[in-house]
Amino acid sequence: MVCAREESIRSKARQSTPSPIPSRADILIIGGGLAGMYAALKAHEGGARVVIASKGPLGRSGGSIFAPSFHQALKPEWLGHLPRPWDASERFFVATYQGLMAEGPLRRADVWTTNEALPELERMGLYFHRASQGPFKGQLLHDPAMSAWAPKMDMSGRTTADLLRRKVLDAGIEVLDEVMATSLLVNDGQCVGGTFLNILNGDFFAVRSRATILATGHSNYLSKRSNGTRDVCGDGIALLYRAGAELFNVEMANWRYRFMAWPRSWMRLGVNGLPELARDETGRLVGPDRRLWFENSLVNVPPSDGLLCRKLPDLAHAAGNASRSSVDGGSYRDLSYHDQFFRHLGLDASKDLIELAHNYHHLHGGAWVDPLTFESRTLRCLFAAGGAIGHTGIGQCLYDGKCAAEIALGRIESTAMEELDAAAPDQETERVVGLLRTAGTKSGIRPQVIKTRIREIMWAKMNHEKDGATMESALEDVLAVRYTLAPNMALPSATRRFNSDWVDALDVYNMLDAVELEIRASLLRQESRGGFYRSDYPHQDDANWLKHIIVSQVGGELRMRTEGVPQDDLGEPTNA
Amino acid sequence: MHRRLQRDRDGAVAVSLYHYDPSVDQAPRFQAFSVPMTRGMRVLDVLDYIYKDLDHPFAYRWFCGTKRCGRCAVTVNGKAVLACWEPAQPVMRIEPLRHFPVVRDLVVDFSEAEKRLTAMRPLLERSRDYPGFPEPITHETMMAAFDLMVCIDCRVCVGACDALERSPDSGFAGPAAFVQLASVVADPRNDVDRSTSIMKGYIDQCHSCNDCTHACPNGIEVLEGAMDLVRTTVIDQGLYRVPLWGTIRKMPPGLRALIHCRLGLSSPTKIVRRE
């Protein structure tokens, strides 16, 4: 039965608006989260022609939308009481990064956030939540960690991203929405742009640029339970690796403990109330018999989630609890203040237990950049922003974006546009568009099957608890996927319109690069540090391992080396 | 045309899923699937199961699964919903969100709506200087704006909009755009008039059916909190007249919907000036 409405739908679908394809930019930004969008605004204000490409919708996906607050950004005089110990944020970050980050860059980001970012964002219209008693909501009265909150759905990142998205669009900056970067273009040691696939209509094209800022984020959906959104599959890591750029600390993956065990689609829903900085509410964990085994006012709470993740199972075992808590679940929540999500499941949080599980959260490594300029130490005119020197948080991401944009603006003055063919290189075109020729291959493996397999390997063998044996086994499994499964991928259809299988196939190769590097670097680091934990080397070993692990591809081969951690603010490396 | 499916008595979900690729298909078609019901199952879990476990390729959008990205809106059994929020039902016909062009299957094209929203400038505009951080505002004065700021721009309300259903080519911007604009209008820090944007969004097309409010997954009072707020602004500016507006606005939304939409007793309105 054809009705008028169906015919209207069909005729509207046929009138697709052609999207003009940019081929040139002064500054190309890859990644549409907080860092990328802020960099775009600053670069645009600086007079550059900016193109920003986002694999998911701009400002609507990635780790940015899950960022809870502006960590420790409030000054004591704004709160009317409590001395402001700058060392509170340092305690937090030092504990999390355990010596791998120079204090100088972290402190600069924090100071800038407090003094520059908060006023600028408020002026733009961001609403920092005021309390009915006292000036700001969200301050923790008994811990000197004072975060600023501008929440929507409990996440300040989402509101900030919303504002920046509107600002970017309002400024008329060229936005490539739902467009996936497939490669970085390199000429003679310099990054000269990128190639892109438009997910909505299947256009494949190149954008040449004088400078490129990589802001793809560090919360990747690489393990079965992850906080990375659907789109973030280690793309940035793979782009860098394939371009020959160096990466650092890709083994420093952090885990978080407090996410919904079911339903599966709510995997990324964090349940607050565990000991968290800047939260008044406390949390308690019980076994299924309701016997209390953890309550944060009763224990000495470690100041970082990474350490907490390690400590909770120990506490559970020490309490002799019957929870059989594991990474897949088995720990239960006793809450009386959380509401809407639980009621929507038909749960009454004042009576029912809320089951939680553990997620692969984010990476503290990434592009190996100069911490002052955020420029790649390997490829000229390539910058990284968004946790680029290991730190995280809304303010820190914005700071990265600002710095990268400022330095890039300076660089482009002396950088000519590479006068190369505007079309994408043949090899990359074949790699990407050639996948469409696999359509309809009998006995081909659908790419999503392989993505699932990779995530299962990571979950089973590269979880928060792991050792050399499980890691070696994970590596074997990953190599088997790369050499026996991936070559047999076939797309079900060659359609150009929102062909998710095509994107999945590209994701497979990005994920294989990202996880292989993570496993190999993890094997190399024979210690545990911050969020990185291996049970065969459970302790921190500063004597041997106060080092960064640097990986890259040289002549098609993986090269791994170490470099000593800078001991001064200028970020000069010491001898390893 | 789709077949009505039997409910599986073992607790499975019977799904009739819309497929349409305008580049190759003559017409939309539906395909049937049976998905085992799991605890707390959302519509998104059902779609994921079909894509992954049943290994069936089709196009659908989601990013976060937790009502933050606002990009998984679909139509289930004729109702506009957010797939990650809506519970799965034993029998479901799943189609794309209404009132947007279809890209493929459940994926719709928001680009024109985005351009329109950008043109309305849903951004704070201050005529006075910013006083510095922290500016002297209170939560009480920000409450109306704050309640609207929870909008994640998912456009479920647009899919549910009865005005667009009756007159798809009226030029009405739809409720979501007005929620975004209203969060600025309600912001005490905003002191630049937005009447032109409101009239260009064809606010007069809203006939108070209140379906948008019922559909909103975030519980926003779309009609009273947003549509009426911006409507009052332009009525006060004399750009638009609604007889007995003061009385009408005080009526409970259900009664207004009955009078204006269901019984068709709309009072005559008059556009004084749109630009």
Q: Average of pLDDT values for A507-528?
A: 97
Q: Average of pLDDT values for A239-253?
A: 95
Which chain A residues have a beta carbon less than 8 Å from that of B101?
9, 12-13, 15-16
Return d(Cα A356, Cα A283) in angstroms, integer: 13
Residue A153 pLDDT:
59
Tens of pLDDT, residue by residue over A351-389, are 787 788 888 988 888 999 998 899 999 999 999 999 887
B168 touches chain A (CB under 8 A): yes
Residue A249 pLDDT:
93
Burial zone of A166 (CB within 10 Å; 0-12 exposed, 13-18 middle, 19+ buried) = buried
Tens of pLDDT, residue by residue over B29-85, are 999 999 999 999 999 999 999 999 999 999 999 999 999 999 999 999 999 999 999
Which chain A residues have a beta carbon less than 8 Å from that of B28?
6, 9-10
Q: What angle do CA A113, A53, B24 make, to 5 degrees?
A: 150
Which chain B residues have a beta carbon less than 8 Å from that of A496?
23
Which chain A residues have a beta carbon less than 8 Å from that of B111?
17, 19, 177
Q: Answer whether residue B26 shows pLDDT above 60.
A: yes
B251 touches chain A (CB under 8 A): no
Return d(Cα A280, Cα A4) in angstroms, integer: 56
Tens of pLDDT, residue by residue over A9-36, are 444 444 444 445 778 999 999 999 999 9
Do A119 and B142 lie within an 8 Å CB cutoff? no
Tens of pLDDT, residue by residue over B78-134, are 999 999 999 999 999 999 999 999 999 999 999 999 999 999 999 999 999 999 998
Return d(Cα A498, Cα B60) in angstroms, integer: 8
Q: Answer whether residue A134 shows pLDDT above 60.
A: no
Do A498 and B126 lie within an 8 Å CB cutoff? no
Do A263 and B40 lie within an 8 Å CB cutoff? yes
Do B65 and A501 lie within an 8 Å CB cutoff? no
Percent of chain A with pLDDT strictly greater than 90: 53
B27 touches chain A (CB under 8 A): yes
Q: Average of pLDDT values for B151-176?
A: 95
Q: Average of pLDDT values for A325-333?
A: 47
B35 touches chain A (CB under 8 A): no
Q: Average of pLDDT values for A63-87?
A: 68
ipTM strictly over 0.85?
yes
Q: What counts of helices (H) and strands (E) characterise chain A?
A: 16, 16
User: Which of the residue ranges A54-68, A296-310, B3-17 has the most confident prediction, judged by mean pLDDT?
Assistant: A54-68
Q: Answer whether residue A5 shows pLDDT above 60.
A: no
B238 touches chain A (CB under 8 A): no
Tens of pLDDT, residue by residue over A406-440, are 999 999 988 877 666 667 788 999 999 999 999 98
Tens of pLDDT, residue by residue over B214-227, are 999 999 999 999 99
Across the interface, of A8, A14, A265, the residue whose CB is closest to B65 is A265
B99: left (phi over 0), alpha (psi -120 to 50) or beta: left
State phi, psi for A74 to the nearest 5 degrees: -90, 145
State phi, psi for B43 to the nearest 5 degrees: -60, -40
Q: Coil, strand or helix: which one is A297? A: coil
Which of B41, B64, B125 to probe by mutation at the A interface, max A CB count within 10 Å? B64
Q: Answer whether residue B171 shows pLDDT above 80.
A: yes
Across the interface, of A14, A159, A500, the residue whose CB is closest to B22 is A14
B86 touches chain A (CB under 8 A): no
Do B150 and A78 lie within an 8 Å CB cutoff? no
Across the interface, of A13, A65, A131, the residue whose CB is closest to B102 is A13
State phi, psi for A289 to the nearest 5 degrees: -85, 5
Return d(Cα A523, Cα A541) in angstroms, integer: 15
Long-range contacts of A470-479 (CB under 8 A, 24+ apart): A471/A519, A471/A522, A471/A523, A471/A534, A472/A523, A474/A515, A474/A519, A475/A516, A475/A519, A475/A520, A475/A523, A478/A454, A478/A512, A478/A515, A478/A516, A478/A519, A479/A516
Peptide bond into A263 cis (omega under 30): yes
Which chain A residues have a beta carbon less than 8 Å from that of B153?
162
B30 touches chain A (CB under 8 A): no
> How many pairs of residues across A and B have Cβ atoms under 8 Å apart?
195
Tell me the sheet residues that pair with A292: A286
Do B101 and A13 lie within an 8 Å CB cutoff? yes
How far apart are the CA of A115 and the nearest CA of chain B, in angstroms? Answer: 9
Tens of pLDDT, residue by residue over A272-290, are 544 443 334 455 666 666 6
Across the interface, of A128, A492, A493, the residue whose CB is closest to B134 is A128
A555: left (phi over 0), alpha (psi -120 to 50) or beta: left
Do B133 and A118 lie within an 8 Å CB cutoff? yes
Q: Answer whether residue A570 shows pLDDT above 90.
A: no
Across the interface, of A1, A127, A135, the residue whose CB is closest to B142 is A127
Instruction: List alpha helices for chain B, DSSP H.
Output: 43-48, 111-120, 139-149, 156-160, 162-166, 175-185, 195-200, 211-215, 228-236, 245-250, 253-257
Return d(Cα A372, Cα A384) in angstroms, integer: 12
Residue A347's pLDDT band (cuts 50, 70, 90): confident
Q: Average of pLDDT values for A242-262?
A: 90
B139 touches chain A (CB under 8 A): yes
B187 touches chain A (CB under 8 A): yes
Residue A278 pLDDT:
33
User: Which of the residue ranges A249-258, A292-301, A303-312 has the most confident prediction, judged by mean pLDDT?
Assistant: A249-258
Residue B270 pLDDT:
75
Candidate from A120-129, A249-258, A301-310, A445-454 with smallest mean pLDDT: A301-310
Give the nearest chain A residue to B166 (CA atoms). Answer: A5
Kindly write down the DSSP assignment for every residue of A343-384, as one continuous string: HHTT--TTTS-EEEEEEEEEES-EE-B-TTT-BBSSSBTEEE
Q: What Å distances lie between residue A368 and A223, A232, A378, CA to CA?
A: 24, 20, 8
Which chain A residues have a beta carbon less than 8 Å from that of B60?
500
Q: Answer whether residue A550 shows pLDDT above 60.
A: yes
How far apart are the CA of B12 and the nearest CA of chain A, in angstroms? Answer: 16
Q: Answer whether residue B196 shows pLDDT above 60.
A: yes
Kindly write down the DSSP assignment for every residue of B129-194, as one continuous string: PP--SSPS--HHHHHHHHHHHT-----HHHHH-HHHHH-TTS----HHHHHHHHHHHT-TT--S--
Q: How confident is the prediction for chain A on average, in pLDDT?
A: 81
Which chain B residues have a beta carbon less than 8 Å from that of A56?
63, 69, 71
